[in-house]
Structure 1
Amino acid sequence: MPRPREFSEDAVLESARNQFWETGYAGTSLADLTAATGLGKGSLYGAFGDKHALFLRTLEGYCSDVVSDAHKELARGGRAIDDLADHLRISARVGVEGSRTRGCMMAKAAAELGSRDAAVQAIVSSSFDGWHDELASCIARAQDEGDIAVGVDADTLAWTLLTLLRGFEALRKGGVATDHLKAALDQVLETIPRSV
């Protein structure tokens, strides 16, 4: 009879995710993972497979959280235009207290592995599709509420905003000052065509 696991799978995945998030896939060794999770090599691989399989599990969890957070922020129940603006500020991490500085794990994974790892590319692509759908739904709601012009293509605007958010991520990681990014985001929000 196999022995029951003596660890929390969720806690181990969170520790592994934080390690991968901090040092990337290539920069994370097996020793790093065993130190971060508190599990030996045998237990770690026995429960989660090899390093790549563990990375994919942590990336899937992270990406699922991103899309879930987007849904919560974009469907808070206030006016859709306000939900949209708040979500963009949170996602761009400008003017938000306590924003994380280590960047987006999804963006890091895409930059490091996306062009040569089909599994990573599929997870990231699916997540961006889900995020886009949440943005487009909020934009359509803002159109129904009379705050965004009906002639605006919600799908295209959603992709535009998502592209801008990824650009904010790169600029922030490149050291661009937060006040510049905040001003740029305010400008973006002002350029969304409004109903007259």
Structure 2
Amino acid sequence: MARPREFDEEAVVRAARERFWDAGYAATSMTDLSEATGVGKTSLYGAFGDKHALFMRIFDEYSTGAVKSAEAELDGSDAGAFERIRAYLLANASGSAGNPRGCLLARGTSELANADPEVAARAKCAYEGLSAVFARAVEGAQRAGDLDPSTDPRAVGDLILAVHRGTEALGRGGAEEPALRTLVETFLASLRSR
């Protein structure tokens, strides 16, 4: 009979996520993960498999959570759809300014997607999910009369995703909050003027 685990699995996953997020995948060893989690390497292997399997669990949970979080913030009545888009992008701009960590989804994608088909597929799924959430919000704003109904909601959803990801990348690179907020407001004004 297998012994019960002597650690809180979710706490270990959170600690491992923080380590991957801070250092990246390649710069994180199983020894690093053992030190970060307080769990021996043998136990980590037994519970999660190898480093890649643990990273994919973390990456998948984070990616799924990013889409669910966007849904929670953007879904709602048509009347408030444009303001929800605006608030979402401005909050991202504020959170991205001077934040060298950035988003784990973006970090993992940029580090691994070109060499790891599993990461690439998961990232693609997450980005498509985010774009679909943004497109639904655009459709709501169109029905409310806040955005031009002739624009393609899917194309605008992709643009919102690009601004969201671009704002974060600029923040990681040292862009300050006022500049990022101006970028967002300029983008949103361009949507209204179409």
Pairwise TM-score range, normalised by the shorter structure: over 0.9
Q: Once the two structures are superposed, what CA deviation does each residue of 1:100-154 show, in whole Å capped at 9, x if it has no partner?
A: 6520111111111111100000111100011011000111111111111110100
- Residue in structure 1 matched with residue 118 of structure 2 by the alignment: 119
State the Cα distance separating 1:11 from its structure 2 match: 1.2
Q: Distance in 2 between matches of 1:180 and 1:49?
A: 43
- Residue in structure 2 matched with residue 130 of structure 1 by the alignment: 129
Mind listing any 5+ residue stretches in structure 2 that lack a counterpart?
Answer: none
Q: Distance in 1 between matches of 2:3 and 2:158?
A: 49
Letter in 1 for 2:11: A
Matched, 1:85 2:68: no
- Residue in structure 1 matched with residue 182 of structure 2 by the alignment: 183
State the Cα distance separating 1:184 from its structure 2 match: 1.2
After TM superposition, the structure 1 stretch with the greater mean CA deviation from structure 2, 163-172 or 23-32, is 163-172
Q: Could you say what secondary structure the match of 1:192 adopts? A: helix
Q: Distance in 2 between matches of 1:192 and 1:88?
A: 13
- Residue in structure 2 matched with residue 23 of structure 1 by the alignment: 23
Matched, 1:167 2:161: no
For the structure 1 residues 97 and 50, does the alpha-carbon distance in structure 2 shift closer, same or farther, using more than 3 Å as the test? closer
Q: Once the two structures are superposed, what CA deviation does each residue of 1:78-121 show, in whole Å capped at 9, x if it has no partner?
A: 61111111111123x32x59996520111111111111100000
Compute the TM-score of the two structures, normalised by the length of structure 2.
Answer: 0.93
Q: Is the 8 A contact 1:136 1:155 kept in 2?
A: yes
For the structure 1 residues 98 and 183, does the alpha-carbon distance in structure 2 shift closer, same or farther, using more than 3 Å as the test? closer
Q: Once the two structures are superposed, what CA deviation does each residue of 1:7-45 show, in whole Å capped at 9, x if it has no partner?
A: 222111111111100100011111110011111011001
Letter in 1 for 2:85: L
Q: Distance in 2 between matches of 1:14 and 1:99?
A: 23
- Residue in structure 1 matched with residue 47 of structure 2 by the alignment: 47
Mind listing any 5+ residue stretches in structure 1 that lack a counterpart?
Answer: none
Q: Distance in 2 between matches of 1:97 and 1:59?
A: 19
Over 4 Å off, 4+ runs = 96-101
Q: Which has more helix, going by share of residues?
A: 2
**Percent identity of equivalent pairs:** 37
CA-based RMSD of the aligned residues comes to 1.9
Q: Could you say what secondary structure the match of 1:4 adopts? A: coil
Q: Is the 8 A contact 2:99 2:171 kept in 1?
A: no
- Residue in structure 2 matched with residue 145 of structure 1 by the alignment: 144
Q: Is the 8 A contact 1:48 1:54 kept in 2?
A: yes
